[in-house]
């Protein structure tokens, strides 16, 4: 009996798996991946066509009505009404959302987000070539400069090998002897040949390119400055002999070590700090596929912020009614295979609708809870957990997690991933809570307004947060300061002479 029950459960799970897996897979995809998945489905399934000017309601009517009744969506993805945690605010928010949807119905489809609004007639609507600009790599820039040098074939080969070995920061981190293997070039290059080729690369383009370490990078940039530059010679001595002391901001120790006045040290250190430690970074190329297409837009409607779906980013598909009618009239041996294709097409149509509806509902719930953030920024971000949204919408927490992964909203404050709005709680003296993001924003504000000659230590930052009513340990302050990319107080300190 137990074995029979186990087999029945296994069979039931096998029946539900394809539908559930498809819903989960599509929900957690980014917009770009989702668009590609739908495009592949349209290309491979004869019962699917790309929608051409039809509304979502017209598209769904192409599928037989009984298909929806026979295949209900998973419980986590059902369209449940938004429960109100606060009756008046929630009702008002719902009215504003509906009104904003109605008002923007005509204009939303005309806005193409990051994509161009015009295109040649023979190109697809989302042709990357229309909006991806050409990038010049570091190697291409150096090769362009190299053309003006009359070099022998061997010298040109060695120089090209060095250029190709440079990393994205412009450094040569591979030893010269390891650049080519034995037998690749006869006779094998001598050390003097490699050094000559390297010096040529270091004179191409931006000073500092081709350096093997930070010390050499800074030295090359200082050497390229005019000789009359104030503090240049002392800066070279600091870089070559006492770079570690400079990193610790030990100005008194530098003055003793180099036997010069502390004011001279301050001028030289200021010159060094204006150099570029990563001279090749400005050539870093940007992968066009990393551009973000927002799933929803957040805009002000009355005195409330509301979220509306970016319909232009949602791929469109519809059931091909001609093929579906021909299938119903067919008596061929391939009928079971075609029946499966038609079923998969209906599943996809249901998944498209459910995915869009779920993401929009989650976005509306997030925006409804984070109204102050869109008015005042990070300092007003409320602490919020996935479980709160899941409970409010009647969904499973894992469904909310998938609906917020790789999903973005565009607002006057900027473009944010959904997950940005979920932050753990920190206690306040008044018994309330604030978010970790808000605390980081407060720390950043304090550091940006501090006296550069007397920067705030982590202990002092913790004390100032306590004065604001936020209880944060020094360790937490240190962690948050590092997350917003500020160095410790000693490394932020600027000498008085440098500030004048």
What pLDDT, on the 0 to 100 scale, is given for residue 73? 41
CATH code, residues 423-499 = 1.10.10.60
Global pTM exceeds 0.75? no
Q: What is the dihedral of CA 81, 86, 92, 98, to 10 degrees?
A: -20
**What 3 state SS string does 453-487 have?**
CCCCCHHHHHHHHHHCCECCCHHHHHHHHHHCCCC
Contact 270, 235 (CB under 8 A): no
Taking the C-alpha atoms of residue 302 and residue 92, their distance in angstroms, rounded to an integer, is 11
| CB neighbour burial string for 32-63, b if at least 16 within 10 angstroms, e if fewer | bebbebbeebbeebebbbebeeeebeebbebb
What pLDDT, on the 0 to 100 scale, is given for residue 389? 92
Sites in the chain below the pLDDT cut of 70? 1-19, 52-135, 284-290, 329-335, 424-433, 495-500
Taking the C-alpha atoms of residue 393 and residue 387, their distance in angstroms, rounded to an integer, is 10
Give domain limits for the chain: 169-283, 423-499
What pLDDT, on the 0 to 100 scale, is given for residue 72? 41
Which ranges in 109-183 belong to alpha helices (H)?
Answer: 138-146, 153-165
Taking CA atoms, 275 is separated from 224, 252, 359, 472, in Å, by 11, 22, 46, 36
């Amino acid at each position: 009996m137990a074995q029979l029950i186990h087999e029945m459960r296994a069979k039931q799970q096998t029946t539900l798996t394809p539908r559930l897996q498809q819903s989960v897979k599509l929900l957690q995809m980014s917009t770009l991946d989702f668009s590609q998945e739908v495009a592949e489905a349209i290309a491979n399934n004869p019962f699917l066509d790309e929608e051409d000017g039809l509304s979502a309601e017209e598209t769904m009517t192409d599928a037989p009505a009984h298909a929806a009744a026979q295949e209900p969506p998973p419980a986590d993805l059902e369209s449940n009404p938004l429960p109100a945690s606060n009756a008046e605010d929630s009702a008002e928010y719902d009215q504003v959302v509906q009104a904003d949807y109605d008002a923007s119905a005509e204009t939303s489809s005309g806005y193409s987000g990051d994509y161009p609004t015009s295109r040649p007639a023979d190109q697809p609507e989302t042709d990357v070539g229309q909006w991806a600009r050409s990038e010049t790599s570091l190697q291409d820039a150096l090769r362009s400069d190299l053309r003006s040098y009359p070099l022998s074939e061997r010298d040109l080969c060695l120089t090209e090998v060095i250029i190709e070995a440079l990393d994205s920061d412009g450094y040569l981190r591979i030893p010269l002897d390891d650049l080519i293997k034995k037998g690749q070039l006869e006779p094998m290059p001598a050390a003097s040949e490699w050094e000559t080729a390297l010096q040529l690369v270091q004179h191409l383009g931006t000073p500092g390119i081709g350096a093997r370490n930070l010390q050499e990078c800074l030295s090359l940039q200082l050497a390229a400055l005019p000789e009359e530059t104030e503090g240049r010679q002392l800066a070279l001595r600091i870089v070559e002999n006492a770079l570690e002391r400079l990193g610790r901001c030990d100005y008194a120790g530098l003055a003793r070590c180099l036997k010069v006045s502390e004011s001279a040290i301050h001028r030289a250190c200021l010159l060094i700090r204006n150099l570029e430690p990563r001279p090749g970074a400005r050539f870093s190329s940007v992968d066009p596929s990393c551009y973000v297409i927002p799933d929803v837009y957040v805009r002000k409607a009355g005195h409330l912020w509301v979220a509306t779906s970016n319909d232009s980013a949602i791929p469109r598909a519809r059931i091909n009614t001609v093929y579906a009618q021909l299938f119903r009239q067919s008596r061929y041996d391939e009928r079971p295979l075609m029946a499966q294709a038609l079923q998969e097409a209906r599943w996809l149509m249901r998944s498209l609708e459910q995915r869009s509806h779920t993401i929009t509902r989650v976005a509306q719930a997030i925006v409804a809870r984070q109204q102050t953030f869109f008015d005042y920024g990070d300092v007003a971000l409320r602490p919020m957990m996935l479980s709160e949204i899941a409970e409010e919408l009647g969904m499973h927490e894992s469904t909310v997690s998938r609906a917020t992964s790789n999903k973005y909203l565009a607002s006057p404050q900027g473009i944010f991933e959904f997950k940005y709005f979920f932050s753990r709680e920190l206690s306040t003296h008044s018994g309330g809570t604030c978010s970790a993001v808000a605390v980081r924003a407060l720390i950043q504000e304090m550091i940006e307004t501090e006296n550069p000659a007397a920067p705030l230590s982590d202990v002092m930052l913790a004390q100032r947060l306590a004065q604001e009513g936020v209880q944060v340990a020094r360790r937490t302050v240190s962690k948050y300061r590092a997350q917003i990319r500020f160095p410790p107080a000693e490394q932020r300190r600027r000498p008085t002479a440098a500030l004048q």
